[in-house]
Amino acid sequence: MTISMYSASVPVFTTLLGNLDHFLDKALADAQTRKYDPVVLAQSRLAPDMLPLARQVLIACDAAKLCVARLAGVEAPVFDDTETTLTELKTRVRKTLEFLTTVTPAQIDGTEDRDITFPVGREGTRTMKGEAYLKHWATANAYFHVCTAYAILRHNGVALGKVDFLLGSKAPA
């Protein structure tokens, strides 16, 4: 039995972003428990030359919504990228999850061989077949930024573990 492009995209991104939302819940609780401003976490980074947590969340959301939109041949919602607090980041995750629910299997299934052209860097583009784009670009990009968000929060003392990463949002069986 083969799996569909839809089942390899929307449910995967939904679980991944649900887990990211769970991380942000735990971060807010940690800030309240340890009595510090949670904006500190939104601005935190693991190294001076990397993007802070807030940008990691925005990029993870964009990777999911843009992949699904490109595969489905629909316009992705445009967000302002102005989120600076954990609560605002949670809203961004929620809006992205809401968009994902609007795309149906019929819109994505069968797009394995569709050419997907997307921006790379500041001025370049790249074209990949739909299946390669999903498997080797968009999914990897989303996981990278969610993993980095997890690492930033964990590095700052938020009590996250492997179970939070794998099952934080109670992923379906």
Token code pair at residue 81: 């990228």
List, for residues 2-16, the tens digit of each pLDDT value: 789 999 999 999 999
Q: Quick one: pLDDT at residue 168?
A: 63
Q: Is the Cβ–Cβ distance between 23 and 149 less than 8 Å? A: yes
- Write out the residue range of the structural domain in which residue 21 sits: 10-167
- The verdict on residue 63 lying in a domain is yes
Q: Is the Cβ–Cβ distance between 130 and 4 less than 8 Å? A: no
* Band of pLDDT at residue 112, cut at 50, 70 and 90: very high
- The verdict on residue 3 lying in a domain is no
- The verdict on residue 122 lying in a domain is yes
- The verdict on residue 4 lying in a domain is no
Rounded to a whole number, what is the largest CA-CA distance in the chain? Answer: 52
- The verdict on residue 73 lying in a domain is yes
| Percentage of residues in the chain having pLDDT higher than 70 | 96
Q: How many domains does the chain have?
A: 1
Task: Please say if the pLDDT value at position 171 is more than 70.
Answer: no
- The verdict on residue 5 lying in a domain is no
- The verdict on residue 127 lying in a domain is yes
Helix (H, G, I), strand (E, B) or coil at 147: helix
Specify the CATH number for the domain of residue 49.
1.20.120.450
